[in-house]
Structure 1
Amino acid sequence: MIKEFKEFILRGNVVDLAVGVIIGSAFTAIVKSLTDNLISPMLGIFLGKIDFSQVVFSVAGAEFKVGLFINAIINFLIIAFVIFIMVKIINKFLRTEKEEEPTTPSNEELYLKEIRDLLSEQQIQSDKNETNL
């Protein structure tokens, strides 16, 4: 059982996932800081202070902090947009135009093409015979 666990942990995709989670959490902290310290204040200049945290309604003594939820949605949308822009920029830099080398068809592909051509010829001849009748 320990051997199987060791194989599972050392498998490439588990290690890759762990690295992805660690980098993702660090990246989230960076983007949250960008949102909180740069983007939100900039939006505050143009739209006024965006803070719904005081919006609360009560029902039977229970407080529903709708404003905090709205703030979380706004932060999520800003973070998602920033990540979207960053991914587009990264993809633009990583994109390399690869020229596809013409590959020679395998024997299997050649046979299949011949069969296709023969079937096409048979269909054409069949259609001609039907029109002559």
Structure 2
Amino acid sequence: MLKGFKEFILRGNVIDLAVAVVIGAAFTAVVNSIVENVFNPLVGAVFRADSLDNALVLTIPLPGEDAEIRFGAVLGAVLTFLIVAAVVYFVFVMPMNLLKQRADARRQTGTEKPEDPETELTVLAQIRDLLAAERSPGPGTGSHRGE
């Protein structure tokens, strides 16, 4: 039982997933800090509120306690999403696409594309074809090989 657990934990994709979760959490902290410390004060200054949470508040009077609709909080969430999307695109996706394009260009201008490595399936298909060729009569011969 422990051996199976050890194999599961030491799989490459489990380790990669764990690293991705940790990096994602750290990345989220950085983005949240940027939004709270840079964008919230800027937008708050425009809307004359101390943060986006307190900007664009619509109060609905109700008996007992008023209800508040906080459009500024929604705006802050949208800004956070856009900032995360922009950082992911410009820091990760765009550079990886450029690297891929350069690698493809090198492959096209460089040597010919390497052949696909032979797999067991292609070797077995070749053996089948050779056996079929040996069993079928050759051109001009009326008998099977080896008779």
Q: TM-score, normalised by structure 1?
A: 0.59
Larger relative contact order (CA 8 Å, sep ≥ 6):
1
Q: Which amino acid aligns with 1:32?
A: N
TM superposition shift of 1:21: 0.9
Alpha-carbon separation, structure 2, partners of 1:104 and 1:19: 33
TM superposition shift of 1:76: 2.5
Match for residue 42 of structure 1?
42
**Do the aligned partners of 1:9 and 1:15 also contact (CA within 8 Å) in 2?**
yes
Residue pairs, 1:1-133, within 5 angstroms: 1-49=1-49, 50=52, 51=54, 66-67=69-70, 71=73, 73-90=74-91, 91-94=93-96, 95-96=98-99, 97-98=102-103, 99=105, 100-101=107-108, 102-103=112-113
**Do the aligned partners of 1:53 and 1:65 also contact (CA within 8 Å) in 2?**
no
Q: Which string of whole-angstrom CA distances, capped at 9 and with x for unpartnered residues, describes residues 23-54 of structure 1?
A: 11111111111000101111122233231597
Match for residue 123 of structure 1?
none
| Structure 2 unpaired stretches of 5+ | 117-121, 123-147
Q: TM-score, normalised by structure 2?
A: 0.54
TM superposition shift of 1:104: 7.0
Q: Which amino acid aligns with 2:80?
A: I
Question: Which of the two has higher C-alpha Rg?
Answer: 2
**Do the aligned partners of 1:55 and 1:65 also contact (CA within 8 Å) in 2?**
yes
Aligned-CA RMSD value: 3.3
Q: Which amino acid aligns with 1:85?
A: A
The answer to which structure has the higher helix fraction is: 1
Q: Which amino acid aligns with 2:83?
A: V
SS in 2 for 1:24: helix
| Structure 1 unpaired stretches of 5+ | 109-133
Flag the 1:62–1:5 CA change in 2: closer, same or farther, 3 A. farther
